Structure 1
Amino acid sequence: MKNKGTTMDDRNFEAANALRAVYEQRACPPDDVLFAVERSEELMAHLGYCRYCNERLEMTAADQGAWEELSRQLKQQLSEKRPEFAPAPGQVWSLDRKRLGGWGPYDRYYNTPLVLVLKLQDDGQTLRVAQVCAEEGLKGDDGADVWLDDSIGFAESWNVFSVHRDDLMTCLAEVGQSVARDVLMQARNLPHESESAPAPVIREFREFEIQVGAFMAMQAMPQVMAEVELVEELEKVEEAACELQLRKIFGTVDQLKKRAFEKAKEWKLPEVAGSILDFLAGAEPRSVLGLAAVQPQEKTKLINLVSPDDDGVFVGTVTAIISAARKNAEGSFFIRCSLDQKQGETCHLFACLEVEDLAREVSSFTIKAGTRAFTLTFPGVPASACNAETVKNNVKMILVRT
C-alpha cells in the first residue's frame, strides 16, 4: 500500500508510470505478433505512433530472448483452462485471448484483462464482470475502485460488462461474494463526476479502461446475446420505463430532493439514492425510527405514501398485509397484499426487488379508489427466496397518490 509520506507530486508521477504499464499490457501486441517476420498492416499502423513497441523492437537479441521467454511463461499460465471449475461471484478470472482479444479501434491490439465475476444470470452461461487493474497507483480516491488484494489490485466498479462463460480461461483467485456485492453496489451508486473530480491522469486511465472493456463486451456480445443479454436489456427497458413514469410525476432526483427537504424534520431522507424509487422508498418517518414494534406482525410491511401535490412529497405511511408470497405456475415470484385501509382515490404502487446475485426487477400495480388489494410478480427468483421475509426485506415499495 502507499506510504503515508507520499506527496501529491509523487502520486502523480507514480500514476503516470502506472498508466504506461497498463497501456502496454492492454493495447500493445504480444510478442508473437510484434516480432513476426511479416508485419501486418495493423502492426505497421500501431508502430507508427507507439514508442513503447518501437523500444521493444530495438532490444538486443539477448534481451529479446529473455522477454519472449517471460511472455511465453505468463501466456502459458493464463491459457490453462479449468473447465471443471465453475465460475461464481467473487472469483477473479483471465479471459480467452483468442475469443476476445485482437486488433481494434485506435490501431491497438486489445489484450484481455483480468475480471472479477459479479453475478451469474439465470441461464448460468452469461456473467456480469468488472475489469480488474493491478496498478495501485491508478486507484482513485472517490470510492469507485474496490481493492481486492495486493496480488490482484482493484476492481473497477465503473467498468462492468457481460461475457459468456466460454470466454473465461483460468480462475486465478477468490476474493469472496461479499466483495462482489460491494462492487455491484458501488456500480449502482457511482459518484457524479462533479462530486468525485479525480485527478487528470486517473480520468485518462478510466477513459482508456472503458474503451478496453467496451471492446471485450463487443467481442463477447454475439454469444452473450444468444443466451440472456436480450432478456437483461428488456429488464433495463422496463426499469427505465418505471423511472420515466416517476420522473414525469416528481421531476429529477435532484428536484425531488429539494422538495422533500421541507419534510426533513419529520422524515429521515436517504443520503444516497440511485433512482426516484430508491429515494422515496428509502425515507423513514422520524416518529417510528428505532421502534422495534413498527411492524409487529411477521407478514406486514410499511409503505411510504407520497404525492406530487404535497409540499414535502411525503404524506405518511400505510401498512400492507402480506397474504401470499410464493412461486407461481409460471415460475415467477407472486405477491398478494392488501392495505390496512381503503384508499379514497386511485393510487399507483411501484415496487422493485433486489435479491443477491439477481438483476434488479421492477413491478407496479394500480389500486383503484375504494379498494386495497394489489398483486406483484417478479420473474427469475429462486423458490427459496419466494417468501414473506423477502417481501419485507428485499422489496422496496411506494404508494403514489396522484
Structure 2
Amino acid sequence: MSTSDRPIIRSLLENDLYKFSMWQALLHSHPGAQAEYAFLCRNKPSYPLAELRADFENEIERLCSMSFAQDELDYLGRLRFLKSDFVDFLSVFRFQRRFLHVDTAGDDLVIRAKGPLVHVIGFEIFVLYVVNELYFRRLPADEAIVEEMRRRLWIKIEFLRAQQHELLANPRHPFNFFDFGLRRRYSAAWQDEVISTFNNEIPDLFRGTSNVYLAKQLGITPIGTMAHEYLQAFQALGIRLRDFQTAALEGWVHEFRGDLGVALTDVVGMDAFLRDFDLYFAKLFDGLRHDSGDPIVWGEKAIAHYKKLRIDPETKRLVFSDALDVPRAVALYHHFSGRISTSFGIGTNLTNDTPHPALNIVMKMVSCNGQPVAKLSDSPGKTMCNDETFLAYLRQVFSH
C-alpha cells in the first residue's frame, strides 16, 4: 500500500454521486447562482494541517488540468436520472483554479471555494479526500498498522456473516448497507481494498458506494441523492425564507420525476422539516435520510408522521448516515425491523478505521448569491455559519 508518491485524484468521476445529481438540478434551475464554501477541521489533528499547503496546492493544480474521459461520460449517460445536456456540459467542464483560494492561518489550513455555483459545487469532495490522504501519508504506516486495519475490516465482515441469515430473513425489509466513506478515506488504495472485500465477501448485504469512480470500476451501484448544500442554496435564491425547504423539494421532484427519492431532513431540524413535508411530498418521496440527532428519536418521528398522513410506513424507507459503524447500523435495523425499510450509509468507520484518530473535516456552503446560508443541525457542533444575525433569524423563522 505504498502510495506516497502517487497522485491522489485519479479521475473527475471520483466524486460522490449526490454531487452529480445536485449539480444537474442547480445547473438546470439556477445556472447563474454564486456560492462560497469554507473548509473546517472540527477536531485537533496530530500535526498542523498548514504543513500540507504546498502538496495540497499541487494536487489542486492537477485537478484543474483534468477532464472527463469518454468512457466516464458514457457511464454517466447510462444513469437514467442524469440528462444528456448535463453530460454534454461535463464533457467540456474544467475546474477553474481561480475559484479555489488556499492560505494558512497559524496552524490552520484555510480553503475557500468562491464563484459560480455550477463551477464550485464540485470542489468539496476532492478537497476533503486530498487533505485527508495527504495528512495520513505523513503518519506512521508500517506493516503492523496495515495489518491492524485489515483485522478491523474482517471483524466487520465476520460480525455480519454471523447474523446474515437473520438480517436477510425478512425479504421485504432485508438489512443492507453501503459505503459513504470517500471524503474521509485513509487512502484511495485502502478504499479500493475495503469496498472490493465487502463486495466479494458479503454481496447480499453490501449494496454499493457513493464513489462513482469505484462503482464504475467494480460494477456496483452508485448511491446518493442530495446533501445539505442543495437545500441551503434555496435560502438565498429569491424565495421567502420560510418557504425554502418546500421550494427545494419541489425543484427536486421537478428535476428527477421520481428518481433519487430520498429527502434530507436536518437543514433546519427534523421538526421543522416535517412541518413542510406534507402529504404531497410524503407521497412523492420514497423516504428520508438521517444525518444528525438521535437516530431512534428521528426514526420514530418519521414513522409517526407517515401514520398521521395515513401512509403505511412499510412502503417508505429511512436511510441512516450519521457517524455509523456496523454494530450501530445492525442495532438500528433491529429496532425498526418490520415497521419500515431501512438502509445504512457508513463512512469513516468503513474507509478510515485505523489506529490513527480520524480527521473530522468538512467543507460547507456558507453563502449563496452574496447572502449567508446555514444548517441548523439536530446535533450540537454541526451548525456552520459566519453570520450570527442570520442564524438567529433562521432559528426564529423555523422555531428552532
TM-score exceeds 0.5? no
Indicate the TM-score class for this superposition, using the shorter chain for normalisation: under 0.3
TM-score of the aligned structures, taking structure 2 as reference length: 0.24
Identify, as 1 or 2, the structure richer in helix: 2
Identify, as 1 or 2, the structure richer in strand: 1
TM-score of the aligned structures, taking structure 1 as reference length: 0.24
Kindly indicate whether structure 1 or structure 2 has the higher relative contact order, using CA contacts under 8 Å at least 6 residues apart: 2
